Amino acid sequence: MSVTTEPGSLGPQIALFEYALRLHQQDPDSPLPRDGEPYPDDERHRYRRQRPQTRKDQRLRGVDVAAILDVHFGKADAPPSELADAFCEVDVPIHHNEHIAAAALRAHRQRVRQTGRWLVRHSPDRCSTTVGLALLATDWAEEDIPLIQTIGLLSHRFGPLAAEALRRRRGGEEALLWLAQRVAGWGRVYVIEALCQQGAYASRRWLLRHACDGDYLNGYFAGRVATAAHLHEAITGTETDDDLVDHTGRLLKIMAGCGGMGMTLEHYPPAPHVLAAHVACLDRQTPTLNRYVDAAIITDHLANKTPQQSGCTQEQRDHLVRQYLAVLDRQNWCDAVRAGHDADNDFFAWFASNPAARLHLRAFTEMTDNDR
């Protein structure tokens, strides 16, 4: 069945869970297109985005939701469907919230579980679906994992609570890994951070090779991946492969320039050892454009920042720069970048005028000389 993400195309009453499931079935191994946005309830929520909803005192966020839940759970026979449109006029946090969690703990656990399941499975409204997921995030029933994973595919909205809910459950790491392979953007940040909190036992191999997908938001979790997955042990070990080496290059490139987002090389104690292992592995790899670019950006950071900003001593930094430049200036690496780069591409125009120019990379200086 073909599904479009145009608002209203599936009808205003379709449950967001069903909407996510249909989109997922079209391409089961990839993130939903545009994270599934716009959602089917977009029209009804459009006007809410035009007026402020968040409380000025952040300590009171979630109080209104908790009050509605207290009233609902105080009525013994009130069905979960009573809450389907109950939260449209209040501020609903998308992250774990102490007030909502406390309301769940004040009620009977089985009823909280049933209400959370119904709202996530049947609600056509993002606010009540979020509250349902928040209720499930206070629980630990393993049978709810598929439900949580599916709504978590709409990850920009539901990723934080889905990650929290899965992290609490037995088998949660495997469930989080499944979701991490199928989300992007902010959703990927939430899920991978939760994986790192789990200890990254079952997910370590994937994290070391595939966690960073090229989005600038990877800067929020690159350092956590390097630490939780024990990157220094993997890249200095005897069983390195191209995927591990390439992803190590991406992690180092990100950590070189993610100040203000996440852990930088300066605050990553194994930095000099991981850098040395990466350039040694790079020396044995087949040259490609992506490998060249990542290595050049790392080298540019090393050469043009203080040694301390790379977590190195002066001697370590200078030696690493010489090693990287020795690889980048080889004939076969120069040939690879010349064959692959596009002079009309905005990124490569920036690259040629900045890192390549500062480092006087042979591949680019010779191209300039030949143009004269």
pLDDT band at 7 (very low <50, low <70, confident <90, very high): very low
The answer to whether the beta carbons of residues 154 and 39 sit under 8 Å apart is yes
CB atoms within 10 A of CB 283: 12
DSSP state of 35: G
- Using CA atoms, how far apart are residues 97 and 107, in angstroms rounded to an integer? 16
Residue bearing tokens 């390549």: 356
What are the tens digits of pLDDT across the range 170-217? Answer: 999 999 999 999 999 999 999 999 999 987 788 999 999 999 999 999
The answer to whether the beta carbons of residues 166 and 195 sit under 8 Å apart is no
CA nearest 225: which of 192, 257, 250?
192
Which pLDDT belongs to residue 5?
39
189: left (phi over 0), alpha (psi -120 to 50) or beta: alpha
Which pLDDT belongs to residue 48?
64
User: Number of H helices and number of E strands within the chain?
Assistant: 21, 0
What are the tens digits of pLDDT across the range 34-84? Answer: 999 999 999 888 766 555 566 678 899 999 999 999 999 999 999 999 999
Q: What is the pLDDT averaged over residues 260-287?
A: 97
Q: What is the pLDDT averaged over residues 154-175?
A: 96
pLDDT band at 344 (very low <50, low <70, confident <90, very high): confident
What is the torsional sign of CA 289, 294, 298, 301?
Answer: positive
What are the tens digits of pLDDT across the range 304-328? Answer: 999 999 999 999 999 999 999 999 9
pTM: 0.90
- Using CA atoms, how far apart are residues 110 and 116, in angstroms rounded to an integer? 10
Q: 3-class DSSP state for residue 203?
A: coil
